[in-house]
Amino acid sequence: MTAAVLSIGTELSRGELVNTNGPWIAAQLVTIGFEVFEHAIVDDDRPRIAAAIERFARNVSVIVCTGGLGPTTDDVTTEAVASVLGVKLRRDEASLENIRRRFEKLGRVMSESNAKQADFPEGAEILPNPIGTAPGFSVRIGRAIAFFLPGVPREMTRMLEEQVTPRIRPLAPSDTHQIRLKTFGLPESVVGEKLAGIEAAHEGVIIGYRAHFPEIEVKVLAKGASQTSAREACEKATAEVRARLGAVIYGEADDTFASVVGRTLRNRGVTLAIAESCTGGLVGSMLTREPGASDFLLLDAVTYANSAKARVLGVDEDVLRAHGAVSSEVAALMAEGARRASGSDVALSLTGVAGPTGGTEDKPVGTVYLGVTGAHGTEVKHRVFPGERLQIQTFAAYAGLQLLRTYVSA
């Protein structure tokens, strides 16, 4: 059973906006068991929208379209669908009333252009939009079923999950089960090599990858005749993925690396202080993006200037002069100083050269010293990371969190 995705909007065809709706919808369709071979993006042009719909209706069973349902004259998706079906538009009074009420709530008057959002091709099934103005709709075109949703991602995702998925799930040729594993520490190509052959050895299993630098998410999707057989196949393949990747896997599903490190600290009742230099607050920012960081984080002292390292963390100015701020000695003193200044159980420090300038022969751009201290004493690691400034900062932040996690788990 095949499906296709059509994204409509001149801002998309001109490349002003990256189309995130398309891949999100495709991934949902794949997850419930459809094959998705093709997407199209077309501008807000009635004939081109109609041509794309007609082409997909000849080739696939399910079409999901987004965009072009707004109130302006540019929004012509509904007219295009009516022209494909050879039917007229019909105003739906219930939808019109909903739109009018929505505007009333906001203390505004509905304009005539908004009334147009209550027009649908004759015979269409209307899909209510609980959080926006534009309802969606669904029509049959030949042997295909087509869904039209607004392009606003928040509205689209909710309508797809609540209204489209339940309607098309019974059409999917098989049940599916998916497990998402989060990894950090290997590049995508190496993760791929390590997992080579798993798809071939496990029938109906698809291994997908999604890179969010510097993490790689591995998705194990299994199809089966029933939910039970799909889940079993998925768990079997996932066990093999786990065996091959080992400690590179840090979590599952919606875990982030920072949330897993935070959970480790919280579960062990350990309080943390950080002393950052080259990462400039990135480690603190990653940890506090997750709710609940106040359970363990006392202080993140971003001591960017040497004077701040001395004044706030008490780093000895003679050591700074003798070894430089980017050194094993200063990393150790920064961690110890952050622990002392905050009264925390453990402390992490990062000092390095993020570039593009500041590198030397001994300490090239990418050089980072990571320190950790606590009841087990102080440890320092030396690393040289590749890439540009933001990459180096990100690698360093991840390596720091990794070091902290290992220290606390020991």
> What part of residues 381-410 is at the interface with its own copies (CB under 8 A)?
389-390, 393
Among 17, 186, 198, 384, binds its own copies (CB under 8 A): 17
Q: How far is CA 358 from CA 67, 323, 324, in A?
A: 48, 15, 12
Element at 65 (helix H, strand E): strand 62-66
From the list 19-27, 60-68, 93-101, 237-245, the region that binds its own copies by CB under 8 A is 19-27
Half-sphere exposure of residue 362, counting CA atoms within 13 Å on the CB side? 4
Residues 208 to 267: which contact its own copies by CB under 8 A?
Answer: 208-211, 219
Residues 98 to 157: which contact its own copies by CB under 8 A?
Answer: none
- The CA dihedral of 93, 99, 103, 106, to the nearest 10 degrees, is 140
Q: Are 217 and 183 in contact (CB under 8 A)?
A: yes
| Between 129 and 303, CB nearer to its own copies | 303
From the list 104-112, 130-138, 142-150, 336-344, the region that binds its own copies by CB under 8 A is 336-344
Spatial separation of the C-alpha atoms in residues 20 and 392, rounded to whole Å? 27
Tokens 């082409």 locate to 55
Among 13, 95, 163, 327, binds its own copies (CB under 8 A): 13
Q: How far is the CB of 378 from its own copies (least distance, A)?
A: 21
Among 119, 276, 329, 336, binds its own copies (CB under 8 A): 276
Q: Count CB neighbours of 147 within 10 A.
A: 23
Among 165, 285, 328, 378, binds its own copies (CB under 8 A): 285
Among 261, 312, 315, 372, binds its own copies (CB under 8 A): 312
Residues 47 to 66: which contact its own copies by CB under 8 A?
Answer: 48, 52
Spatial separation of the C-alpha atoms in residues 407 and 268, rounded to whole Å? 12
Spatial separation of the C-alpha atoms in residues 169 and 46, rounded to whole Å? 30
Number of residues that bind its own copies (CB under 8 A): 76
Among 283, 370, 399, 401, binds its own copies (CB under 8 A): 283
Please report whether residue 304 would count as binding its own copies according to CB under 8 A.
yes
| Between 224 and 284, CB nearer to its own copies | 284
Q: Are 309 and 334 in contact (CB under 8 A)?
A: yes
